[in-house]
Amino acid sequence: MTENTTPETVPSFYERPGIEIGQLPYGEGVPYGIERVFNSALGIGGAYGAWGHSYSNDTLPGFVGNRLGEELAPTDILNLSELGFHHRHHIPDLNEADHLELELEVGAHLLKAAAETSGWEPGDVQGVLVGTSCPVSNDFLAEISRRAGIGEDALKVTVHKACDGSMGSLNLAINPQLGETGGINIAEELQGKRVLFGGIEGLSRFTSHARDKNALQLFGNGMGAIGIVPGENINLLAGRSHENYDEEGLLQVRMYYPHSREIHPGKSLVEVSRPDASSICVAGMMHEPVDGLPIVMAGLMGMVKLFVRTGVEVVLDVYQDYQHKMVEMGQPGRLIDVAIAHHANYKINLLKAKNLLKEGIQFPAPWLLPDFGNVSAASCAIAFLRQLQQIKPGDHVLFDGFGAGTYYDVMAVSMG
């Protein structure tokens, strides 16, 4: 069952102890913060953070009103604390060149910090897999890897599957049953190697020209990256990748990445390209707004309809496979110790938990991002790092990713 650990008053991310705070010289100055986390018992570490000013639920309507050019009506203001969110991070409007340099800087800072926290030199990293919904440039991952000091020959995989991007990245890194992607079996290629995976989302930039009042209140910037060695400190027990096209357009998202925008019956909605010998781009089809806007949502109940029913089915399938695996391993009845789920909003996760309980499935799924808002593909990476110190060697963790498109990546893994 999902646990709402959100207190009534939540400090901003920048007020947490131990945060590395800096400022980047774009516009009037853009603050950023990074927190490093390492679990020595597991040998797993990483870094997460945000950039932009932190807006509380009280100050956010003013910011959104400025972006819209009109004050939000009281009926348009969401009860964000009820949805599990108390803050999110936004940047001022910048020119195109400054947007690019800003996100390249914060991305490079993140990858370097994640590698160092994992006990590695950046040049020792052999694979980088990052989910991002709205890349600031097509070569974003290659460029931030270069700036972070990661070698040119390291495998770099960008995953564009909206909020499911970081979990799609993890699935590719540890699940050989997904087969070949871009001409290689990524999980087999990365077995036993030093790998960074995660998500980086500049959603303040992405939504800056949106007219959707819900999206402008829910989304914000966030980033997280984790160092793993597949087959050593993380092992797949059961996993599935699932896609189910959003015909109704309940969550419409502009694709600012390479994709033909064609649907071929019986074929995957995901297209794979190879920008260069060491890079792979995994790009999922989206139902795009017809008016050229970046994002249009059908409302909160539309999000429930979009994600809960199919999301429960995918988790149920993986959980059943996990139970069969436990029987094979001589551990019948072994339970999941904790679930790391995408934080779309608290009500969606609570409803998923209630529907799983009807199937006899229950596990802890803590709510961990009250000071970030919905940060799309960065969500599960941040949530995992916030839970990391409580995870013990041998614990079984369920990762539950889902995003617009719609895409689902769910995995049960053994840690350490």
The mean pLDDT of 276-294, rounded to a whole number, is 96
- How far apart (Å, rounded) are the C-alpha atoms in residues 310 and 85? 24
Neighbours of 292 (CB within 10 A): 8
Residue 253 has pLDDT above 90, yes or no: yes
Q: What is the mean pLDDT of the chain?
A: 96
How do residues 5-57 score in pLDDT, each as one tens digit? 554 579 999 999 999 999 999 999 999 999 999 999 999 999 999 999 999 99
The answer to whether the beta carbons of residues 4 and 18 sit under 8 Å apart is: no
CA-closest candidate to residue 49, choices 212, 199, 253: 199
What is the rounded distance in angstroms from the CA atom of residue 72 to the CA atom of residue 328? 57
Cβ(127)–Cβ(192) below 8 Å:
no
pLDDT of residue 299: 85
Looking at the predicted structure, is the pLDDT value of residue 319 above 80?
A: yes
- Segment 383-393, tens digit of pLDDT: 999 999 999 99
CA-to-CA distance for 124 and 312, rounded, in angstroms?
39
| Predicted pLDDT at 1 | 46
Report the pLDDT averaged over residues 184-208: 98
pLDDT of residue 8: 56
265 secondary structure, DSSP code: T
Q: Is the pLDDT of residue 203 over 70?
A: yes
Alpha helices in 332-378 (DSSP H): 346-358
Which band of pLDDT confidence, cut at 50, 70 and 90, is reported for residue 3? low
In order of start, what are the domains of the chain with their CATH numbers? 2-415 (3.40.47.10)
Q: What's the mean pLDDT in 200-204?
A: 98
pTM, to two decimals = 0.97
Percent of the chain past pLDDT 70, that is, above it, reads 98
Percentage of the residues of the chain whose pLDDT score is greater than 90: 96
Count of H helices and E strands in the chain?
10, 19
pLDDT at residue 206 tops 80: yes
**Beta-strand pair 155-160/279-284:** parallel
Q: What is the DSSP letter of 255?
A: -
Contacts 24+ apart (CB under 8 A), 318-324: 318/238, 318/239, 318/240, 318/398, 318/410, 318/411, 318/412, 319/238, 319/361, 319/398, 319/412, 321/238, 321/240, 321/412, 322/237, 322/238, 322/396, 322/398, 322/412, 324/238
What pLDDT does 2 receive?
61
- Per-residue pLDDT, averaged over 352-377, amounts to 97
